[in-house]
Amino acid sequence: MTNPNSAENRVQKVAVLGGGSFGTALANIVAANGHATTLWFRDRERAETCERTRENANYLPGYRLHDNLRISADLVESLRDVNVVVVVIPSQSYREVVRQAAPYIRPGTMVISATKGIEAPNFTLMSEILAEELKNVQIGVLSGPNFAKEIVQNQHTGSVIASDSDDVLAVIPKMFSSKTFRVYKSRDRFGIELAGAIKNIYAIVCGMAAALGTGHNTHAMILTRSLAEMGRFANKLGANAMTFLGLAGVGDLILTCSSDLSRNYRVGYSLGSGKTLEQTLAEIGQVAEGVNTLQIVKKKADELGVYMPLASGLHAILFEGADIGRVVQGLMTGAMASDVEFI
């Protein structure tokens, strides 16, 4: 028999920090589930417009937000007496916002990171920033093959919440649960978060390959060799490579490497079409985490001596002036590697 007073069945007071597409989609799900939810924007004018029009026209145009969702640019008020904070801020400004929020987050609060990125120069994951900047909170990571546009269209979607907190694993799946959004559980916070961050590199590779006119054979090879690189890198860092076979690993990899809804895929397609990185990023107009992540991962892989030919080849094209054709030929004539590792 369900206990209505148990933690997972209580109405939560929630703040979602970050008014981009994914933050908006997540906040809307929680609000639709009856929780007192505030979506925080850094830009006051955008927040006021969104609150008035009930639409995030910059990121999810044409989609009406739930009446139960409040939008605000007042960080202090947004965080007042909340039980759950969901942080969906781009990695480059993630620490800054968390540091601003820290004085207003109560001990015991569940703080969930939904940003897929890595902070330079110390290879710091977003949940590690939370641990450094916040005291006595319960940390979790939400990650998976989740395009915001399809979430708000009620397309069936799966995600993963990873935490070492029993409360987080009990509350968050229920809080986000809907007829079309299902959240699975994991204890491997590091592996789930690492998978979500580094797969963005390979979405750029696949977008570039598509622009160059490659076929299904090539796409399948890139996907599987990308997964091998991800697992090899994760294993060296101490993560469980098996985590990469789940939704946050291979699931997210397939999604972002196969659709132009992925910003990172679009970056690769634009580059493969002959545009410069600067032109590409200006045209996309949103943060593509894979570009930043590529530089950080390449540096770390070199330090650890991890063989990552796809990431290294992409880095050579983007930042070392290498010719795409020569890099591709080098990948096809490199050292013969084992197909499947860790067996």
Sheet holding 84-87, edge to edge: 69-72, 36-40, 13-17, 84-87, 110-113, 138-143, 157-163, 181-186
What is the C-alpha separation between 117 and 109, in angstroms, rounded? 23
Q: Which member of 13, 174, 199, 300 is catalytic?
A: 199
Sorted by sequence, the CB contacts under 8 Å of residue 26 that are 6+ apart come out as 16, 86, 88, 114, 142, 151, 176
Task: Compute the distance between CA of residue 146 and CA of residue 148 in angstroms, rounded to an integer.
Answer: 6
| Separation CA 207–CA 257 (nearest Å) | 7
User: How far apart are the C-alpha atoms of 15 and 21, rounded to whole Å?
Assistant: 15
Q: What does the CA dihedral 24, 28, 29, 31 come to, rounded to 10 degrees?
A: 140
Q: Which two tokens stand for residue 44?
A: 């006051």
| Residues 6 or more apart whose Cβ sits within 8 Å of residue 214 | none
Q: Is residue 199 annotated as a catalytic residue, yes or no?
A: yes
* Structure tokens belonging to residue 1: 């028999």
Looking at the annotation, which residues are catalytic? 199
